[in-house]
Amino acid sequence: MAPTPGLQIMQRSYLWQDGTVRSWLLTTDHKRIALLYMASITAFFVLGSFGAALIRLHLISPTGAILSDETYSRMFTMHGIVMVWLFLVPSIPVTLGNFLVPLMLGAKDLAFPRLNLISWYLFIMAGALVVYGLFRGGLETGWTFYTPLSTDYTQGRVLPVVAGVFLSGFSSIATGVNFIISIHQLRAPGLTWYRLPLMLWALYATSVIFVLATPVLSITLLLLAFEHFFHVGVFDPALGGDPLLFQHLFWFYSHPAVYIMILPGMGVVSEVVSTFCHKPVFGYRFVAWSSISIAAIGFLVWGHHMFVAGTSLYAAVVFSMLSFLVSVPSAIKVFNWLGTMHGGAIRLDAPMLYAMGFIGLFTVGGLTGLFLASLASDVHLTQTYFVVAHFHYIMVGGMVSAYFAGLHYWWPKITGRMYPEMWGRTAAALLFFGFNLTFFPQFILGYEGMPRRYATYPAQFQVLNVLSSAGASILALAYILPLIYFTWALFRGARATDNPWQATGLEWRISSPPPVENFITPPVVTHEAYDYAALDHPDAAPRAEAPHV
Amino acid sequence: MNWLPEASAHASRVDILLAGLLLISLAVLGLVFGLMMLNIIRFRVGSRVPVSAETVAHKSWRFEIGWTATTLAVFFALFVWAARLYVLGFQPPPGAIQIYVTGKQWMWKVQYPGGQREINALHVPLGRPVQLLLTSEDVIHDFSIPVLRIKHDVLPGRYQSLWFIATQAGAFRFYCTQFCGIGHSRMTGTLIVLTPTDYANWLGRTPASGSLATKGEALFIHNGCSGCHVSQPYAPDADDTSRAPSMVGLYGSEITGADGQHIRVDNAFLHDAILHIGPAHGQAAGYATRMPSYRGVLGEEDLAALIAYLQTLSPSRSSGMGVSAVSARKGN
């Protein structure tokens, strides 16, 4: 695959070919858009983390240490909205996904490069609206906007924030459409569906959810605004509406949105585990189809957020059963990652440490999900800190670990520089320990009955809250470290080779950082995915049979 | 920190379920972390443990089907266990004491059948079934009693029900657990479980402005209900039910709606009918006049009193009938 010397001179890295601000803001290059997104979501992540830091600091004292009840409520609302819609939902798809989908497909760009740029501008406008709402007073509704609290009983700036979330939905839909069509249409010759990297299967499943679920959120928010302006009774019982209808519609989007957040993380972990074990992913087809089945069953479990909300007994029983069912494909993935490690040649570089952190923390998050899918125990645990701990294990322990795994893993490809390995491993270990110290005590708090979203709490809960806040400070360090050493590595890191991890996949066959046009000569795929034998012995003839299922 | 007490039989059963879930989780976690560690020790590059030539690649589908089937079986067993407890645990026994609890930003108002009222405190007798009829005057709240392992959302404009038999005397906290605005964390209170004698004493000691039903009777006349709905002492033509159905014997009975559906008349039904006008439930067929909506006229406390009065017009049907009827309609 190495280009001839003549071609090498013509290659220019996408990063430095034209450094003007204008060339960045008007770029249709998926790689540059990925970096625009990366900078934006990092800014939102810092904002959301700032909210979390204030919350944890406040909760050191049972009477509340630093904030008024009102500011506290606005802080956790801000934290939730910013983290969910401006960080977690876009995170891996728009950064690593944007960068990698065309490279993994062997394509020059996504199917609709301009739509890709528009999606970024929509996202920035959405972010601006949300930030405007938050800084011009904020709102105290929680990220869930439950009616009638969000319509009749708040003085906060609900409308600009809702408009922002509404716009961000269109950004998601644009990205989803782009990925689906690219994966269908732009696969290189020989790149069959079962030869796709598992990251692409995961992103494909994610994109399907983007396209099918997000419109429901848009409609719901539109109805909310409609009710506000025209007093049409939709959700407000005082106008003849039904507040539970809002919850149904909201969770019809927001539960699948959980899988929007976690599926790309699973894709990253599949890539990283395979590379750092130098072994094909165990049970490739099972892992691939488990992504699709998570996306499909994920649409049928929204009712488990409403077991105590006043829905019918029969609905609760059915939703409970489906919720157990949706966790089976996740369990399959975990077992297959362990199977991949078995018999491999394991290297414990930072991406692998993050990936193993993901597997462990995601398993805890998944298992505690069973406590909440079980009807009788959900009644006791829901709306308490148990739920807070549970979804942070999935969102932070799982998703953020996977995002960091992917960032470290593809950093040499994205920037052409290596990050400092020792610092990477240190940050991965800090994340794991800081995270557990922050959120494990919250499981116990939840069992003891401490409700979530409380600005003050009975003194008996203080010890565990202080532990949790102490963990949060370690967690903060684990976030700040990569910010520093990645910035340093961008200018001072060692030059990366084209394939520093001996990984398979088309993205590792081109230079680091990639040239503007990705592939000088269009690649032809002749091997299965994760065919390390072909990588290690490039002269040997391709094997006739598939090396794995 | 004191461990959370179990103040009812249901609480103990939920704790056993939680212990089961915890054991299974610990086993799975041990397996996942154990295998991860073993793999690292044996297969790390530079590991001194010799690697034998074993590979499992070719028979992997057997592993896949094995662990998928095992996971499914374990999950299904857990589902049945928890769902059974939920369904059985929410079938209320007959003869429960009905206490009305109204949530309001940011307090809990409690009304007893004897007319006693209090705020952010709930007195109940030991060993007797108690049914809470929950509603809200503004946003959605949630009434949560951790020592009993129960909670339920409290919605504006309709009744939800919770029931329990407390088996441990003492004072325990209850909370609002659905975010309801900036005063959310102050919307807590104390559940006081008293022995039956202490409870009777407490009821006697607490001033009551007439029983709930007496207050409801006054409202029934004052708001003109008695003008249309025949109620023996106040209707001159005791048998004239041409304008509206009689209230005598109505509570606890089954009526037929316009679509032929059988509807049990219970607290939640009466609450809805008064606020949302009868025809919403399709039972007004045959009456010339429509009942006006009392939304905005009657507050939640008035409604509780009115319904308590209507119950006294069906003396043969104990309040326990209403309990099961509520559960059948609202699903808990």
Which tens digits make up the pLDDT trace of A212-253?
999 999 999 999 888 888 888 898 887 878 889 999 999 999
Domain boundary among B89, B114, B140: B89
Identify whether A547 is part of a domain.
Answer: no
> Residue A317: CB partners within 8 Å, gap ≥ 6?
A375, B83, B86, B87
A459 interfaces chain B, CB cutoff of 8 Å? no
Residue B231 pLDDT > 90, yes or no? Answer: no
Per the domain annotation, does B280 fall within a domain?
yes
CB within 8 Å: A335 and B67: yes
DSSP state of A417: B
How many folded domains does chain A comprise? Answer: 1
Q: Does A341 touch chain B (CB under 8 A)?
A: yes
Q: Are A292 and A548 in contact (CB under 8 A)?
A: no
Question: Which of the given ranges, A146-160, A202-216, A223-237, B59-73, has the highest pLDDT on average?
Answer: A202-216
- Within a 10 A sphere around the Cβ of B186, how many other Cβ atoms? 15
pLDDT at B259 over 80: no
Q: Tell me, what CATH number does B137's domain have? A: 2.60.40.420
Element (H, E) at A242: none
Q: Identify whether residues B218 and B284 lie together within a single domain.
A: yes
Provide the pLDDT for residue B278: 55
Q: In Å, how far is A529's CA from the nearest CA of chain B? A: 15
Contact (Cβ atoms closer than 8 angstroms) between residue A362 and residue A397: yes
Put simply, whether A321 touches B (Cβ < 8 Å) is yes
pLDDT exceeds 90 at position A413: yes
Same domain, B17 and B102: no
Q: Which residue in this structure is represented by tokens 């104990």?
A: B318
Give yes or no: residues B112 and B201 share one domain.
yes
Where in the sequence is the domain holding A344, given as residue range(s)? 32-536
Distance from CA of A506 to the nearest CA of B (A): 24
Of B174, B205, B236, the residue that ends a domain is B205
Facing residue for B160 by CB, picked from A310, A356, A452: A310
Tell me, what CATH number does B299's domain have?
A: 1.10.760.10
Sign of CA dihedral A184, A187, A189, A191: negative
Q: Is B298 on the interface with A (CB under 8 A)?
A: no
Q: Give the closest-approach CA distance of B158 to chain A in angstroms.
A: 9
Predicted confidence at residue A417, as pLDDT, reads 94
Question: Same domain, yes or no, for B69 and B162?
Answer: no
Residue A362: what residue type? Answer: F
| Three-class SS state of B21 | helix
A8-44 pLDDT, tens digit per residue, is: 444 578 887 777 888 899 999 999 999 999 999 999 9
Of B45, B156, B332, the CB nearest to A148: B156
Tokens of B214: 């007496």
Q: A237-241, B194-198, B231-235 — which is least confidently predicted?
A: B231-235
Residue ranges making up the domain that contains B181: 97-205
Q: Which residues contact A537 (CB under 8 A, 6 or more apart)?
A: none
The verdict on B270 and B195 lying in the same domain is: no
Interchain contact, A142 vs B18, CB within 8 Å: no
Q: What is the ipTM of this complex?
A: 0.90
Q: Identify the pLDDT of residue A230.
A: 85
Model confidence, pTM:
0.87
pLDDT confidence of residue A149: 86
Cβ-based contacts of A454 with chain B (< 8 Å): 184-185
Residues within 8 A of B (CB atoms), A 86-125 only: none
Using CA coordinates, name the residue in chain A closest to B152: A308
Structural domain count, chain B? 3
CATH number at residue A473: 1.20.210.10
Does some domain include residue B282? yes
Do the strands B129-136 and B97-104 form a parallel or antiparallel pair, or are they unpaired? parallel
Q: What is the dihedral of CA B237, B238, B244, B248, to 10 degrees?
A: 170
Alpha carbon A308 to its chain centroid, in Å, reads 28
Please judge whether B179 and A149 are an interchain contact, meaning their C-beta atoms are less than 8 angstroms apart: yes
